[in-house]
A and B are shown apart, each in its own frame.
Chain A
Amino acid sequence: MHDQESTGRRSFLRAAVVALAALSLSGRDLLGAATGPGDDMPDAAKKVLRERFGTRPIKDGHVSLDLPEVAPDSREVPVFIETDLPMDAERYVKAIHLIVDHNPDIYVAGFELTPALGKASIDTRIKMRRSSQVRAIVETSAGELWWAHKLVYTTLNGCV
């Protein structure tokens, strides 16, 4: 009796998971190539991007963003941003921008860099109000924009 019940529950759960996966897959198919990391951005965060970068395209790639999946202390979330883009006198990374979609201040920090650094990376610690996408945008001297994003789960409001 008990066994049967738990088997039933398990197969229901399995069916639900399969259905959810199918839903998300079909959703992705419907949106096709238009699906990008910015699609789930809240309007306020999109506005920040528009104000900073206008209509310049932001492309995936060249940025590695290292963050915990679950932040044990949302007052101090370690962030490490790195890029493989060149850092010489002709072509260099002129800025790294850090955005947290659901923070009161969405644009958390901007780091202006110069070729004298020899490489482009930033290691720091940020506050997070709640679970959110964190985005790192790398801006090159040629005006190109590259980004990476990561969803970070938090347990408490760290904006103190």
Chain B
Amino acid sequence: MTTAATPLTGDARILLPPAIQKDAVIYVRALVAHPMYTGMSRDEKGALIPEYYIKTVDITYGGHRVARFEWTSGISRDPYVAFPLRASHEGPLQVAWTDTKGRVYTQTAAISFAG
């Protein structure tokens, strides 16, 4: 059991628009629950909380990497990011968040076309 990580740490979500047309550029919103400690905050007893944050985010679409983010603890708690994606084919969109303890949180959403 780790100290101070919230019970929800790693709870991850991908939000897609309701209807996707082939070749449209859509906006993907991705969220993960994470404390994103900077190493500069203190707990209720006054002790420094060690830094602990999401370091990389890998995004694959149909098995191919389409984006990779490099983060520091300067990204807010429970990180949110939205990015464009051209819906060129039907297939899984996967987001994998890796934190400084090496824990990986993944979430997958299906890109499928309307109609």
**Distance from B104 Cβ to chain A, minimum over Cβ atoms (Å):** 18
Task: Give residues of chain B (48-92) contacting chain A, Cβ–Cβ below 8 Å.
Answer: 61, 64-77, 79-86, 88
Q: Are A104 and B40 in contact (CB under 8 A)?
A: yes
Asked if A153 lies at the interface with its beta carbon under 8 angstroms from chain B, I say: no
Contact of A116 among B40, B64, B69, B77 (CB under 8 A): B64
Q: Are A112 and B41 in contact (CB under 8 A)?
A: no
Q: What is the chain A residue whose CB lies nearest that of B67?
A: A113
Contact of A112 among B64, B67, B75, B76 (CB under 8 A): B67
Q: What is the chain B residue whose CB lies nearest that of A122?
A: B83
Asked if B21 lies at the interface with its beta carbon under 8 angstroms from chain A, I say: no
Given A160-B38, A160-B41, A118 contacting B75 (CB threshold 8 A): no
Q: Are B67 and A117 in contact (CB under 8 A)?
A: yes
A131 to B22 CA separation, bound complex (whole angstroms): 43
**Distance from A91 Cβ to chain B, minimum over Cβ atoms (Å):** 15
Contact of A121 among B71, B79, B84 (CB under 8 A): B84
Asked if B5 lies at the interface with its beta carbon under 8 angstroms from chain A, I say: no
Please indicate the chain A residues that have their CB under 8 angstroms from the CB of B40 in the complex. 104, 159-160
Asked if B25 lies at the interface with its beta carbon under 8 angstroms from chain A, I say: yes
Asked if A119 lies at the interface with its beta carbon under 8 angstroms from chain B, I say: yes
Task: Give residues of chain B (3-28) contacting chain A, Cβ–Cβ below 8 Å.
Answer: 25, 27
A70 to B97 CA separation, bound complex (whole angstroms): 30
Q: What is the chain B residue whose CB lies nearest that of A82?
A: B84
Q: What is the chain A residue whose CB lies nearest that of B74?
A: A108
How many A-B residue contacts, CB cutoff 8 Å? 98
Q: Are B41 and A109 in contact (CB under 8 A)?
A: no
Asked if A76 lies at the interface with its beta carbon under 8 angstroms from chain B, I say: yes
**Distance from A133 Cβ to chain B, minimum over Cβ atoms (Å):** 14
Q: Are A114 and B67 in contact (CB under 8 A)?
A: yes
Q: Are A110 and B70 in contact (CB under 8 A)?
A: yes
Q: Are B68 and A112 in contact (CB under 8 A)?
A: yes
Please indicate the chain A residues that have their CB under 8 angstroms from the CB of B83 in the complex. 111, 113, 117, 121-123
A52 to B40 CA separation, bound complex (whole angstroms): 25
Q: Are B74 and A109 in contact (CB under 8 A)?
A: yes
Contact of A126 among B29, B64, B75 (CB under 8 A): B75
A127 to B29 CA separation, bound complex (whole angstroms): 19
Chain B interface residues toward A at CB < 8 A:
25, 27, 29, 38, 40-41, 61, 64-77, 79-86, 88
A and B contact pairs by CB, cutoff 8 A, 5 listed? A117-B84, A118-B86, A126-B74, A159-B40, A159-B74
